Amino acid sequence: MDRAEILEVALELTCGDREEVHGDCVTTQQAVAHLWSEYWHAKAVADKEIMRPQFSGEDVAHMMTLLKIARCANTPGRYNADNYVDGAAYQAIAGECAHAERPQYEDMPDTSPCAMEYASGRCEGP
């Protein structure tokens, strides 16, 4: 699979039937964040630790991406397209969660080289 195919499949997965089956991705990531936070708290209490992180939906999506990266790292010499497709999809979900959870960032201009070229009309965009 090339990068376009990976992103196309990730787009189909995150915006197609899966959302109908599993629900809104932001709400789902926030629910997972709540459960992970509570689990972490229970573990911290049991271990008499003080630290209690509060995960966000964005954190969950980033950590799920790390899961996919770990799977790639732990299977050297083998290729599984699912890890790359899901990794791209989780990063897209992380972006959507960040937009929903931290709306103050929505007014920040995208200064990446690709966005700058698109804004200037030098490329057609995705």
Residue 109 has pLDDT above 70, yes or no: no
Q: How many other C-beta atoms can be found within 10 angstroms of the C-beta atom of residue 123? A: 13
Q: Average pLDDT of 100-108? A: 68
Question: Could you tell me the pLDDT band of residue 88, with boundaries at 50, 70 and 90?
Answer: very high
Cβ neighbours around 56 below 10 Å, total: 20
Q: How many residues does the chain have?
A: 126
Contact in structure between 92 and 18 (CB atoms under 8 Å): no
Domain boundaries, the chain: 3-120
User: What ranges in the chain are assigned the alpha helix state H?
Assistant: 3-15, 17-22, 25-46, 57-73, 81-101, 113-120
Judged against a pLDDT cut of 70, whether residue 94 lies above it is answered with yes
